[in-house]
Amino acid sequence: MRLLKQLAIILTLGLATQATAQVVDIVWWDFLSGGDGVRMKAMIEEFNAEHPNINISGTTLEWGVPYYTRVQTAVPVGEGPDVMTYHTSRIPLSAPTGIFRPITDEDLASVGLSRDDYFEAAVEGATFNGQLMCVPLDIHSHILFYNRDILRSVDMIGEDGLPIGLDGAENFTAALEKIAAETDVLPLSMAIDSGSIWRLFYSLLSQQDGPPLIDGNDVYVGEEARNALQLMRGWVEDGLASDNAEYEASIALFTGGQAAFHFNGVWESTTMKDLAASGDLFDWGAIAYPTFFDKPATWADSHCFAIPENARNPISAEKLDAVLTAVAWMNRNSLTWAGAGHIPAYRAIVDSPEYAELEPNSTYAVLAESAQFDPASPVAGVASPLFDAVDNVLVPAIGGLLPIDDALQMFAQELESNLF
């Protein structure tokens, strides 16, 4: 009997050891902080709980240049993660260095996915030289926040609670002028910083049927760019928009009830929801950008999941399967991620009844069909030379410190100097 008990203990220990050995550990890097970070950590915990044989071990690094520099130095020497978050706008800058393991159609199919499951713009943004470099998680863009109470007071709210009369540059400007004339608030709050100004400028530029801003080593700043920059400058010059507000100050102007409209990213919808939930905000809403010019278009980017090409430490078939399983799960459960204001890139979530009830997300989700990703250029994207050029030239032009034509010429020259 004693021998049988000993054998049973040995067998139990053996099975436990075998089970432990079968757990695949995924090294995960991301740059997600704030509300994004809270939601992603919760999703990772839920995934780990549902998958006892896979464990995501996550590390959050500093957003921007520090993150991408760390990735660029770690991956070539085999010290990168198994999977990492990335901005698709950085792909044209990073892909030529060979740090990505392309995602094949077979990879997607192995976890029941295909490119058709995603919004076309998100797939195009994640593609370089015909190869999918990462799997998109979302589309995040700029939107127009509005104070419904103020707009009601000037008869600019329809029966559906949405603003009316904003399409067309002249109509939008006229709406700002009406607010200025009939209320004591600032019509439009917008941040005067490189990121915010770029997103607005590129949206206005993309709404016009002109040539690409960047084509190879050439930068085109013609009539379309002039129209975009002049419109923004006109709002500031005429006192219709904030003229020197930093990012946080521009939000405070709106949330403090001192501005009727506010341009910002979908990610700030969580700020509005939190304030509203605590009773510290007015009746608010958010919509996709109006069509100021010829067609709907709005700057956009995507958070995506990339698999590093760790040449010195290639990913095993077992770990690849675990990574793809995790990526697919994140997409299929991205309703949680939508809580941060993002539009899921996975169409099934956006088409679901649950997402239809998520406001204002479901109202501005239409922009996923007209999203305009940054120019596919090594000088564009998050934390790129393009942001420096915007800060050095376009921001002063909007403030009246540079003539429009001179500013656009200098903008083109600064970008082109980084292309050679």
pLDDT, tens digit, 9 for 90 and up, residues 107-152: 999 999 999 999 999 999 999 999 999 999 999 999 999 999 999 9
**CATH T-level topology, domain 141-299+384-417:** D-Maltodextrin-Binding Protein; domain 2 (3.40.190)
CATH 3.40.190.10 residue ranges for the chain: 23-137+302-364, 141-299+384-417
Main-chain dihedrals φ then ψ at residue 165, nearest 5 degrees = 75, 25
User: Rounded to whole angstroms, how far apart are CA atoms 229 and 401?
Assistant: 13
Rounded to the nearest angstrom, the gap between the alpha carbon of residue 410 and the centroid of all alpha carbons in its chain is 28
pTM metric for this prediction: 0.92
223-237 and 169-182 helices, crossing angle to 10°: 0
User: Rounded to whole angstroms, how far apart are CA atoms 135 and 133?
Assistant: 7
Spell 210-231 as b/e; 16+ CB within 10 A means b: beebbeeeebebeebbebbbbb
User: Rounded to whole angstroms, how far apart are CA atoms 306 and 101?
Assistant: 8
Closest CA to 162 of 246, 284, 61, 256: 284
Q: Is 149 helix (H, G, I), strand (E, B) or coil?
A: helix
What single letter denotes the amino acid at residue 68? Y
Closest CA to 351 of 333, 365, 371: 365
Q: Is 273 helix (H, G, I), strand (E, B) or coil?
A: helix
1 band by pLDDT with thresholds 50, 70 and 90: very low
Q: What is the pLDDT of residue 13?
A: 46
User: Rounded to whole angstroms, how far apart are CA atoms 363 and 346?
Assistant: 17
Average pLDDT value over all residues in the chain: 93
Is 411:382 a contact under the CB 8 Å cutoff?
no
pLDDT of residue 18 exceeding 80: no
Per-residue tokens: 10: 């040995």
Beta-carbon count within 10 A of 160 CB: 7
User: Rounded to whole angstroms, how far apart are CA atoms 274 and 264?
Assistant: 16
**CATH T-level topology, domain 23-137+302-364:** D-Maltodextrin-Binding Protein; domain 2 (3.40.190)
User: Rounded to whole angstroms, how far apart are CA atoms 240 and 218?
Assistant: 34
Is 37:67 a contact under the CB 8 Å cutoff?
no
Between 141 and 11, the higher pLDDT residue: 141
pLDDT of residue 313 exceeding 90: no
In three-state form (DSSP H/G/I as H, E/B as E, the rest C), the secondary structure along 22-46 is CCEEEEEEECCCHHHHHHHHHHHHH
pLDDT, tens digit, 9 for 90 and up, residues 181-240: 999 999 999 999 999 999 999 999 999 989 999 999 999 999 999 999 999 999 999 999
Q: What is the pLDDT of residue 87?
A: 97
Main-chain dihedrals φ then ψ at residue 386, nearest 5 degrees = -60, -40
User: Rounded to whole angstroms, how far apart are CA atoms 406 and 397?
Assistant: 9
